[in-house]
Amino acid sequence: MLNLERLRTLDALARHGSVSGAADGLHVTTSAVSQQMAKLEREVGQRLLAKNGRGVRLTDAGRLLADHAARILSQVELAQADIEAQRGQVVGEVGVCGFPTAARGLFPRAVSALRAAHPELRVRTRELEPEDGIAAVVRGDLDLAVVLDWNNKRLPTPGGLARAQLLDDVADVAVPAGHRLAGRCEVDLEDFAEDDWVSWPEGGFCYEWLVFTLRAKGVEPRIPHFAGEHHTQMALIAAGCGICVTPRLGRGPVPDGVVVVPVRQRVCRHVYAVWRADADRRPSIRATVDALRAAATEVSPASW
């Protein structure tokens, strides 16, 4: 009889393409992955892994068994969802990720509410950028991801995912207190054609949105500073290093030396939750989505 956890390890290896990736996805050590694979090879009596440079690759037998493992694990997940739905109880474990400002702005309220209402549900959270969060949900590493679209740029999402809108997050422009436009009631993004920008890291979805949006307005942005963390961006603005787009979700108090100015043509990002459609019947998923919606309502002033 094949061991289910060892099949899960093989499936993670096939999906991630490396021992370290599988270990991260399973939240175990690389040594644990190697041990599970060695035991699985003894069970089936065939080599499942072969050396590939400094890493490993699946043998033909490994790929064959990995295909079966993916189907078996899918059926197990469906069975678990059916059992949960039949019991109608919010129990077990749910893994949730979100981009940093969503994690800061929504997760504390949502997790607190879930703990109070469903004490038998264990909630795991982590920060991931939208593309990485969607990939983790598709792979089955996590159950639900909070992700975003910008109003003029959609985030590509694969099929097989369900989604729920949480809120529209309005963004402003943060400028140094002594900036020439700090006293304006409203600004246009093209007003900053000659300014330096502080941006999200290169290659990320929000960085691509910023460059796409400014170029559409005839502005070729100068971006000397990159920071993924909101507080780092604000510190750079306070030091007079440039300006940035700053969404309101999870923003917190604006530091001294920074002024936030609304954008005349409203800029916003659509924040929503995604999960695998085949897990839609799980009460734990429904309860988590409801908790995120309630948290979003609490942090979304009518003025947004």
Query: Mean pLDDT throughout 45-74?
Result: 84
pTM of the model: 0.75
- Report the C-alpha gap between 24 and 146 in whole angstroms: 20
One domain, residues 250 and 188: yes
Residue at 182 is within a domain: yes
pLDDT at residue 81 in the model = 63
One domain, residues 15 and 127: no
One domain, residues 97 and 74: no
pLDDT, tens only, 180-197: 999 999 999 999 999 999
Q: Strands (DSSP E) along 59-157, which ranges?
A: 92-98, 121-127, 144-150
pLDDT at residue 268 in the model = 93
Locate 224 and state its tokens.
């000397």
Residue at 218 is within a domain: yes
- Report the C-alpha gap between 31 and 8 in whole angstroms: 15
**Backbone region of residue 53 per phi and psi (left: phi > 0; alpha: psi in -120 to 50; beta: other values):** left
By the 8 A CB rule, do 122 and 93 touch? yes
CATH of residue 14's domain is: 1.10.10.10
Beta bridge partners of 124: 95
- Domain tally for the chain? 3
Locate 255 and state its tokens.
């530091």
Query: What pairing do the DSSP bridges indicate for beta strands 258-276 and 161-176?
Result: antiparallel
Question: If 0-12 CB within 10 Å is exposed, 13-18 middle and 19+ buried, where does residue 42 land?
Answer: exposed
pLDDT at residue 8 in the model = 83
Give residue 153's domain range. 89-167+270-299
One domain, residues 180 and 294: no
Kind and range of the H or E run holding 132: helix 130-139
One domain, residues 177 and 260: yes
- Report the C-alpha gap between 50 and 57 in whole angstroms: 5
